[in-house]
């Protein structure tokens, strides 16, 4: 497992769109209890504000039910039938009209109040969620990151947090409102006309039953279309990502045919789904308008017999529409709540996952790491977590003395990067131990221990800020003068000052605006600023041109002076100067010693490499 993949985890994350096609979670007691844990992100004040917002919501729901009643009363006041004559009461009409003004004011004020309160509470809640989620993820060990997809983690911040945010600002409010309108509307309907109310309710079970069956069938068809669409996108992604292979094997026609076949199936499935959706819409229209016409017919019959006023019938029909729309809207809000429960579960599961103890308070009596002591590997065995992973390190024993440079040499997969991972305590040994002095590394506080290290990787990760910010990443509280001095020691000051904005120059996304050599010297300046006791180098010059390599080598020489260094070697120049060279083969030490010792060793692999004047990478590639 290469070191650069471990440390450049963040570079895997590219631009992400918010994927709101989240899986639904079945509403259960356990899911509801889990969702209640969100209230720990609400202060006592915010809980009262949320309750007050819900009261405001109830007021707006009641006001909406009063609207059709006032309309009905206005109609009855304007048209009081006495034979063929029509009597009207203008004063009464004005009075009712004034009630509309009051009603609209109440609706406007309480709607604004509800939205303002819910937004305030929700933004406070999601702020706490985002902060804790980021903190929880960043504190996880490297095993967690190697086993997690970046897209899935990004989705927690984008899709899941957005889903929770929408639920508290909109979906939950709409769901509560629709329940209130539904219950209140049914009560008012029975108050207005029990006969028509029973007739209306009698039609609901059959309509809801058929709609549920239809809905499940259409959702199944929609899922099939989504799966085929995803397959289509995968073909496009694979083809474009591997376009060099497509061109090399002249498989353009094959890929076109593969895409065409999938797109043809998608077209047929989409057409079929469209037909069924059209049939479902037609069914709903026929049933809905049929019920409305039937109720109007029954209501007019009651009006003719004097059992009901025309205004009451008008009120009843509008209320029926309100109740019907509430029932229809509840289905969508119910789906959104199911998605929200799943989002809450996924987010809280990550937040509650224990992380590395890197920020724990250091007890006064805890031993501080002393890098004036030797770092020893004692009968070390290691296998990466997983059922079928091979043994990476096998019975490894060696010592790194203070101030010495140790070079690790070997083919890909020999265990070089794994040793670095273990020194950093990204993983713990499967067997054996690593000790500093006589103290196992696991006994030290992680944050205190890692503060003594600095890394200069082969592939440098720069953040999308300024040069100043990237160098200061090695010591966040460093002064401008300290940063400038570190840049000078890293042979980076001249090229930095050549930019129009100097240290305030923006490096671009992941340092794209800088050359390879410039990025390496920024990384070295960062390490110099940190002033580490223990330096780890994943040979920083292997991919550079000769001029850049010379500049970086000079900077590295200054950085390595009087420091303990562990180097993953790709160049002979680094190996020659090391105090100890460890040649690894299949996780074991094959040869160990200084340059002179290994050169005098009969049949030495290292000696053959030097005699053939090959760098380690070239040599092991030819073995």
Mean pLDDT of 229-247: 79
- What mean pLDDT is predicted for residues 329-355? 82
Q: Which residue has the higher pLDDT, 35 or 130?
A: 130
What CATH number belongs to 373-452+564-623? Answer: 3.40.50.300
The span from the first CA to the last CA of the chain, in angstroms, equals 21
Tens-place pLDDT, residues 549-594: 677 777 777 778 888 989 887 777 777 888 899 998 888 998 899 9
- C-beta separation of 258 from 242 below 8 A: no
What is the pLDDT averaged over residues 41-63?
89
Structural domain boundaries of the chain?
17-193+330-355, 194-307, 373-452+564-623
Which residue in 7, 11, 12 sits closest to 540, CA to CA? Answer: 7
CA–CA distance, 48 with 387 (Å, rounded to integer)? 51
Query: Region 108-123: what's the mean pLDDT?
Result: 90
Tell me: the pLDDT tens digits for 356-404?
Answer: 765 555 555 567 888 889 999 999 999 988 767 888 899 999 999 999 9
Q: What is the pLDDT of residue 400?
A: 92
- How many whole angstroms separate alpha carbon 331 and alpha carbon 322? 15
B/e letters for 243-269, b = 16+ CB within 10 Å, e = fewer, are: eeebeeeeeeeebeeeeeebeeebeeb
Is residue 314 exposed (0-12), middle (13-18) or buried (19+ Cβ within 10 Å)? buried
Q: Coil, strand, or helix at residue 355?
A: coil
- Token pair belonging to 486: 């570190």
Question: Residues 479, 484, 488, 490: what is their CA dihedral angle, to the nearest 10 degrees?
Answer: 60
Separation between Cα atoms, residue 482 and residue 463, nearest integer Å: 20
Report the pLDDT value the prediction gives residue 617, as an integer from 0 to 100: 65
d(CA 151, CA 133): 15
Q: Cα–Cα distances in Å, from 116 out to 121, 124, 171, 185, 480?
A: 9, 12, 15, 26, 44
Q: Among 110-114, 175-179, 201-205, 345-349, which stretch is predicted with the lowest mean pLDDT?
A: 201-205
pLDDT of residue 3: 42
- pTM (global) more than 0.85: no
Beta pairing, strands 405-410 & 580-585:
parallel
196 has a pLDDT exceeding 70: yes
* DSSP count for the chain of H helices, then E strands: 23, 12
Determine the pLDDT at residue 19: 42
CATH superfamily of 17-193+330-355: ABC transporter type 1, transmembrane domain (1.20.1560.10)
Q: What is the largest CA-CA distance in the chain?
A: 127
Q: Residue 129 in 3-state DSSP?
A: helix
301's tokens: 């019959």
Identify the pLDDT of residue 7.
34
Say what the pLDDT of residue 11 is: 33
The whole-chain average pLDDT of the chain stands at 79
pLDDT, one tens digit per residue, over 119-157 is 999 999 989 899 989 988 888 888 888 777 777 888 888
Which tops the pLDDT comparison, 453 or 285?
A: 453
Q: Does the pLDDT value for residue 81 go beyond 50?
A: no
**DSSP string over 425-458:** TSS--SEEEEEETTEEGGGS-HHHHHTTEEEE-S
Q: Is the pLDDT of residue 267 over 60?
A: yes
β-pairing, 453-456 vs 439-440, is: unpaired
Residue 210 binned pLDDT confidence (cut-offs 50, 70, 90):
confident
* pLDDT confidence of residue 85: 47
Residue 202 confidence (pLDDT) above 90: no
* HSE of 379, CA atoms in CB hemisphere, 13 A: 2
């Amino acid at each position: 497992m290469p070191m650069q993949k471990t440390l450049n985890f963040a570079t895997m994350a590219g631009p992400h769109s918010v994927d709101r096609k989240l899986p639904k979670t079945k509403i259960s007691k356990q899911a509801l209890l889990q969702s209640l844990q969100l209230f720990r992100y609400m202060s006592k004040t915010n809980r009262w504000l949320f309750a007050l917002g819900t009261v405001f919501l109830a007021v707006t729901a009641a006001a909406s039910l009063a609207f059709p009643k006032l309309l009905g009363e206005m109609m009855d006041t304007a048209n009081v039938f006495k034979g063929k004559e029509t009597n009207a009461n203008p004063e009464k009409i004005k009075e009712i009209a004034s009630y509309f003004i009051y009603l609209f004011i109440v609706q406007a004020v309480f709607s604004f109040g509800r939205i303002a309160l819910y937004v305030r509470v929700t933004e406070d809640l999601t702020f706490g969620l985002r902060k804790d989620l980021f903190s929880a993820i960043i504190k996880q060990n490297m095993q967690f990151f190697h086993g997690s997809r970046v897209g899935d983690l990004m989705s927690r911040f984008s899709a899941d947090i957005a889903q929770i945010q929408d639920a508290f600002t909109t979906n939950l409010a709409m769901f509560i409102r629709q329940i209130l309108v539904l219950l209140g509307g049914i009560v008012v309907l029975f108050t207005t006309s029990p006969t028509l109310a029973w007739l209306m309710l009698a039609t609901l079970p059959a309509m809801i039953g058929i709609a549920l069956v239809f809905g499940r069938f259409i959702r199944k068809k929609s899922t099939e279309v989504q799966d085929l669409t995803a397959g289509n996108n995968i073909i496009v992604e694979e083809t474009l990502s591997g376009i060099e292979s497509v061109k090399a094997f002249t498989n353009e026609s094959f890929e076109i045919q593969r895409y065409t076949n999938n797109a043809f199936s998608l077209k047929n499935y989409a057409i079929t789904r469209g037909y069924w959706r059209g049939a479902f819409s037609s069914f709903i229209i026929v049933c809905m308008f049929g019920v409305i016409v039937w109720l109007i017919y029954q209501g007019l019959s009651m009006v003719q017999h004097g059992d009901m006023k025309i205004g009451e019938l008008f009120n009843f029909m509008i209320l029926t529409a309100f109740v019907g729309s509430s029932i229809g809207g509840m289905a969508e809000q119910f789906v959104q709540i199911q998605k929200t429960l799943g989002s809450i579960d996924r987010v809280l599961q990550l937040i509650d996952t224990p992380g590395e103890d890197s920020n724990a308070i250091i007890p006064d009596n805890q031993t501080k790491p002393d890098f004036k002591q030797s770092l020893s590997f004692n009968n070390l065995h290691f296998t990466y977590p997983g059922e079928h992973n091979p043994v990476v390190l096998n019975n490894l024993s060696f010592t790194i003395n203070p101030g010495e440079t140790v070079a690790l040499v070997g083919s890909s997969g020999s265990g070089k990067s794994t040793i670095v991972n273990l020194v950093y305590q990204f993983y713990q040994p499967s067997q054996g131990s690593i000790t500093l002095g006589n103290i196992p590394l696991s006994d030290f506080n992680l944050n205190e221990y890692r503060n003594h290290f600095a890394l200069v990787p082969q592939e440098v990760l720069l953040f999308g800020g300024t040069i100043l910010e990237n160098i200061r990443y090695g010591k966040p509280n460093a002064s401008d003068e300290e940063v400038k001095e570190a840049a000078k020691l890293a042979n980076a000051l001249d090229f930095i000052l050549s930019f129009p904005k100097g240290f305030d120059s923006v490096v671009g996304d992941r340092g794209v605006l800088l050359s390879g050599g410039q990025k390496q010297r920024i990384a070295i300046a960062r390490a110099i600023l940190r002033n580490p006791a223990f330096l780890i180098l994943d040979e920083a010059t292997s991919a550079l041109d000769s001029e850049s390599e010379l500049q970086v080598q000079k900077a590295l020489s200054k950085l390595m002076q009087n420091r303990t260094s562990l180097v993953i070697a790709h160049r002979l120049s680094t190996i020659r100067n090391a105090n100890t060279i460890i040649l690894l083969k299949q996780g074991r030490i094959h040869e160990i010693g200084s340059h002179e010792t290994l050169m005098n060793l009969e049949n030495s692999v290292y000696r053959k490499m030097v005699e053939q004047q090959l760098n380690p990478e070239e040599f092991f590639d030819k073995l």
